[in-house]
Amino acid sequence: MGWLRDENPATTAFMDRNRASGASVTQRWVSLDHVSPHVLHAILVAEDIEFFQHRGFSFAEQRAAVRTAMSQGTAPRGASTVTQQLAKNLWLTPERSAWRKLREAALAWKLERTLGKRRILELYVNVVEFGPGTYGVGAAADRYFRTATLWLTPEQAAQLAAGLSRPSLWNPSVRTEGYASRVALIRGRMDRGTFLWRHMLPLYRTPT
């Protein structure tokens, strides 16, 4: 896992799964310094607003999710942090099971111990799916907005983040009530979650 400090993964378990099914996969790697801070802001308020406070996962949330799933014989509910989602995308499957959630939590703990918050975010924005076969913010900015990732606006960032929970159905090219409501919800959270900027901006270096 330590190699991820300096090397970018050529593929992920999720990308390989798509390729195996015959689907096309598009990705373009982008340094975090060339990603609009609005993208990070939108992702964090949508997926993990406590990202800078936790060490990969919430013990309380995960215990409750796994306990409920095991007692009811159902798949665990969400509550995955950005770090857990990164672990899932890199090495696991979309399967919803208590065992997968436990593996996801263990890998997230290792990621947090091995990599810093900056690198975790850089990996995350480059490997998650922003619509069918579109992996990473670089490919998404090209596909949906024809713009450089550094110049994505708050509204565009919210549109990208809104699709993370349902990438097969939600992305900036669709016009559905559910997706529009999710975008509006994230924009509202961005307006209220301005405290995240003091954590995000120190992660950036001067672009070269």
Residue 90 has pLDDT above 70, yes or no: yes
CATH code of the domain occupying 24-203: 1.10.3810.10
Q: Which among 176, 158, 171 is positioned nearest to 47, based on CA atoms?
A: 158
| Whether 37 contacts 161, CB under 8 Å | no
> What's residue 205's pLDDT?
82
* CA–CA distance, 98 with 75 (Å, rounded to integer): 7
Instruction: Report how far apart, in Å, the C-alpha atoms of 137 and of each of 24, 31, 36, 72, 186 are.
Output: 16, 10, 10, 37, 17
* pLDDT tens per residue, range 137-181: 999 999 999 999 999 999 999 999 999 999 999 999 999 999 999
The pair of three-digit structure tokens given for residue 89, joined into one six-digit string: 């995308």
pLDDT tens-digit map of 71-84: 655 444 456 899 99
pTM of the model: 0.90
Q: If pLDDT is split at 50, 70 and 90, which confidence band does 95 have?
A: confident
User: Looking up tokens 């509550």, which residue turns up?
Assistant: 79
What digits encode the pLDDT tens for the residues 160-171? 999 999 999 999
DSSP for 106-160?
HHHHHHHHHS-HHHHHHHHHHHSBSSTTEESHHHHIIIII-S-GGG--HHHHHHH
Q: Does residue 29 sit in helix, strand or coil?
A: coil
Tokens 């665990």 -> residue? 76
| Domain ranges across the chain | 24-203
What Rg do the C-alpha atoms of the chain give, in angstroms?
Answer: 16
User: Could you read off the pLDDT of 108-129 as tens digits, one per residue?
Assistant: 999 999 999 999 999 999 999 9
* Pairwise CA distance, residues 152 & 76, whole Å: 34
Q: What is the per-residue pLDDT for 69?
A: 55
